[in-house]
Each structure stands twice: as C-alpha cells, then as structure tokens.
Chain A
Amino acid sequence: EPEVTQTPSHQVTQMGQEVILRCVPISNHLYFYWYRQILGQKVEFLVSFYNNEISEKSEIFDDRFSVERPDGSNFTLKIRSTKLEDSAMYFCASSDGSVSDTQYFGPGTRLTVL
C-alpha cells in the first residue's frame, strides 16, 4: 500500500536557525497538508497546498513558515528563525481530492528547538 514518507524522523536545531522538513506524498495525490502537534496536545492544521500554491493556512503559519513543492515528488516545510515554541511533531498528509478526501498521514518529524 502506498504511503506518505517524511524525513528526518527527528530534527534538533538551535533557536534562530532554519529547518527544512521533507515529505514525499503518495504519488497520484494532488492535495498536500502540514499539521503540527505540540507534545500532549491535539493535532493542528498548518497549511494546505494545491496546484503549486497555498490553498489555506492557519494563524500558526506566520511569515517564518513556507512550503514548496520543488519537484514532482517532494513537499517541504521550511521554518526560518526557529523559536522554542516551534518544538512539536510535524505531520505531512496528502489526499487525491476525491469526494471522500481521505487524508493519508506520514509518520511525522519531531522537531526540537533548543
């Protein structure tokens, strides 16, 4: 069964640095998403992406965040000037945009900002 993959599984960075989280969505999917989960809390929507542009973003997704689909397979989340409060698990998801719109989630990247 096809699956969403994410790298790295764990990223440690110093406050103020830039990080790039990478995702490979399911190959025939057209809609891509990032979510985050602060330890012990619920999963929260960050951004959705379709047709090479952002469809919707939450208030969490401030101007330090950006997303990109640099080629036909990868989908990246970049965080500039990282803050301690960016520490969280980041999940990538993709869907084929059908009526059911089932989203398939990757295993997550745990980001730790020191």
Chain B
Amino acid sequence: DMKVTQMPRYLIKRMGENVLLECGQDMSHETMYWYRQDPGLGLQLIYISYDVDSNSEGDIPKGYRVSRKKREHFSLILDSAKTNQTSVYFCASRDINSGNTLYFGEGSRLIVV
C-alpha cells in the first residue's frame, strides 16, 4: 500500500524559531512536493524535488528551503518562522506509473505564535 508519512503532525513554534518538517515515502517515487493549505487559497506549491539534491522552487518558496539527501525523504525547513507561515503543510510524491497521481501525507499543522 502506497504511503507518505509526515512528522510531526502538530507543532507550535515561537516567531523566529526554526522549523523542520519531515516527509517519507516507501514507493521509490522520484518526484516529491511540499504544499501548504490555507482556507480560500487551496493547495499552494512551495517546492518540488525531482530526486536527490535536485530541487526546484514552486510558486511560494520565500521563507522556505528544502533538503533531499535520500530519495525516500524530503524535508521542509523554515529558518526563523513567521506568524504568516501558520498553516497546514502537505507532502506528496508522484507515481508516474498511474498517470502522475499524487499521493499525499496526512499533513503537518504548524502554528507560529
């Protein structure tokens, strides 16, 4: 069964602190994504990773960076979190063998106070 796992699921941080969100997949998918979900804005793409150390900015990369050192893991890093980064973050991986279907994790809810 295809699975994407995100950790942590819930996180509260103070403004200016660093945040690390981690994502893992066991399907050997090459392409992975980080999205954030906000009411009325839908899912907005932060970064895409095409494979190890091959990352590309999405539509809203400012304030974020990513790391992918193993195909199975894709991390989202917030250096000095801001209150407007309070959101639900979703990781996804792409299955090219099923018409480019995206498999999503369960989300990481981040609150920055």
A complexed with B = no
Chain B interface (Cβ < 8 Å from any Cβ of A):
none
Chain A interface (Cβ < 8 Å from any Cβ of B):
none
